Structure 1
Amino acid sequence: MEIRRGYNMITSKEMRALEVNSEYFGVSRLQLMENAGKALTDEIASRFDPEKTRIAIFSGLGGNGGDGFVAARHLACLGFKVEVMLAGRSKDIVDEEARRNWLALRVLKDTLVFHEIYDSTLVHSVEADIIVDALLGIGLEGVPRAPFSQLVKKMNEAEAFRVCVDVPTGMNSDSGKVLGEAVKADLTITFHRVKPGLKKAEKDVGEVVVKDIGLPKEFERFAGPGDVSLVVKSRPPEAHKGDFGRLLVVGGSEVFSGAPALVALSALRAGVDLTFIAAPERTAYAISSMAPDLITVKLEGSHLNPRNTAVIKRYLETSNAVVIGPGLGLHKETKDAVVGLVEMIEKEKIPLLLDADGLKAFAEYKLRIRSPLVLTPHAGEYRLLTNKKLPMDFETRVEDVRKTA
């Protein structure tokens, strides 16, 4: 398989998340669809003569079909003879961006030929020099049903050059597994990065070309709502409290009460079922007043100390993850308590996030931790942990942190 442009691969879930982030950062899915359809057009136009080429575009009802609609419009503008085969009824187009592009395409009814194929009896032979497969795209899980299965067969039977959009219909974009029958591609034009399935099924995808659609690297580097979608689980109707996690937050002191509360509220908003905040007694009462769904464990003293360990241990045993650090303060007793808790958590193999003052205590003792661990240092805390000063240049800073991790 020839792949033009060297990119790392991206899974279907990661690509969906990136599209959500793109919308969040200001580049809409409608714009991405326009870019994809135009990129598809440019690649075809670079290889074929508009005056001598007939193109049949097989489009589905989702985003992949929308890419096909955009390409049909641009190809028609270049003078190609274009026929659009819609796999279903236009009223059933499920993707909003695809629907808008379909409406724009219908204005060209005197230029293009349209077929709505919502029944297998409506599938007919196609005479074209190029067939564009824009039926299903990434994320396919099951065997395509009628009329998609018949359309795949019809495309494979045609004596035409077959161009697949993102991934051949009938192929899982992550595993490369063929589900039923897949379109036999001569050329696969995929967007942003290569999908893993294209590499695994290289004999079935033809030449692979990767096209930019306007997703800069910053959209992947900075966190957005798409990243949350990668980890949030769907909730079945029969789910009950506790099925989606219990988080213990150890934080707060006589000075700081807001930090542990914000951590717990963020966890609840992200989908965690129950959060428990272990904090000094007076601080815990203040936290309880901030929101009715914050459960507090009231610890003896004005700051975390080793005497609190036994109480916290009872909650550790029922927690799926622990956060230590926000607002703890830097009393000598607090640092000793943090070390004791970390050792206890390590023994139980509970995932741990160390933040703020928890990081500072950890930096002094340099414990070796084999359990799942997340560290969240700012530049100053990073220096305490590693004895290294981070450079000001952002790219170099990212690379230094990656090497340390």
Structure 2
Amino acid sequence: MNLLKDGIENESVQLTSQVVKLTVDGITSNYQVYRVRLDNLYFNDQNDRIATWISQYKAEYGEDSLSRDDLQHYNDVIQEFIEKSNPERIKQTQENIKLLNQQKYGVVLNDGRIIDGNRRYTCLRNLSKESDNFNYFETVVLEKDFEHSAKQIKMLELQIQIGSEERVDYDPIDRLVGIYRDIEDKELLTEEEYARSTNQKVSAVRKELDIARLLVEFLDAIKAPKQYYLARELQLDGPIRELYTALNNISDEDKKQEFKYIAFANLLMKPDEDMTRFIRNLKGISKSVYLDEFISKEEDIAESVLDDLPEEGKVNSDVISKFRADETTKEDLKRTMTVVGSKVKVKETRDKPNQMVKNAIDALDSIDLEIIKRLTDEQIDDMKANLERLEEVFQEVKEAVNV
């Protein structure tokens, strides 16, 4: 349906007196707000917020399972994803609309695809079952279609939902999946265009994209490519970010790859309840002299874990749960982490006094001697007293190391 033609003709789309400002394609203009009957609209399946849910549904029911041929079924399925993504926020928004009606307009395309306002549309669909007063969605209607304006529409969506001052609450994994799909997978946007649309620095976008690539690499390693919902279920946002930092500590590419796949095996098996902290502890190992020892102790276990996974396409939540029931392997992984991690901590403790001496030298070297000439008499006297104390401490340290 063409909302601005067919919808107005059959009165399922009604013009309101409200006019709002909206920036589209870099141009800010006034747009009319319309009341559009709910059954003329449909959820945007390209919305990054529900990317992992869409991947889960298609993994279970097939790539072509989510078709708009049956629009009611299509909307019902996606509405369930939106409600599951943040049930508390849905409840709050729905109560607010029930009390005050819809307060913020949406943005839709001329064919009914919702670009902004999925949560409000969800709430109105629920409330319309109780009262006909909620049968309409107030929204701007853009005279564009998704197929021919996908890039511009994605930039608009990002600007509204991520780049605005009031950013919506995206699941962090959905954010990573979105940036990967938009820039790497579909090549819809460049890093610069994504940064501009979301009001971020290009360097920040590049870092997020690198983390997203690492997440995708993990899914490939566990033979579950593009099964993004698993990353959400496994709550990998914190651990994958810690792993990204740990890998940056390793300059040798071969060791980096070995370390990475060992970490992937640990993420799959979950030997510790707090995997963010667990992987954070790996950072200390990654930059220590014990890196080789850690790799040699865990590489065979990790290889065995990843090799034992079923063939691609058969890895799901149940398979991962069965793997995680192997307490012996989990204990082996954790034991190595504990033993090597303890060695790192001991070495760090022993190295700390020398590092503090180095810091003291750096601090003294940074003093601008010209400034001293401009100090007051009182400041000079105070500095002399501190230097005398410094000499005393220096002698005590020298005696302790038998210099």
Q: Which TM-score tier does this pair reach, normalised by the shorter chain?
A: under 0.3
The normalised TM-score by structure 2 is 0.23
TM-score (norm 1): 0.23
Q: Which is strand-richer, 1 or 2? A: 1
Higher helix share: 2
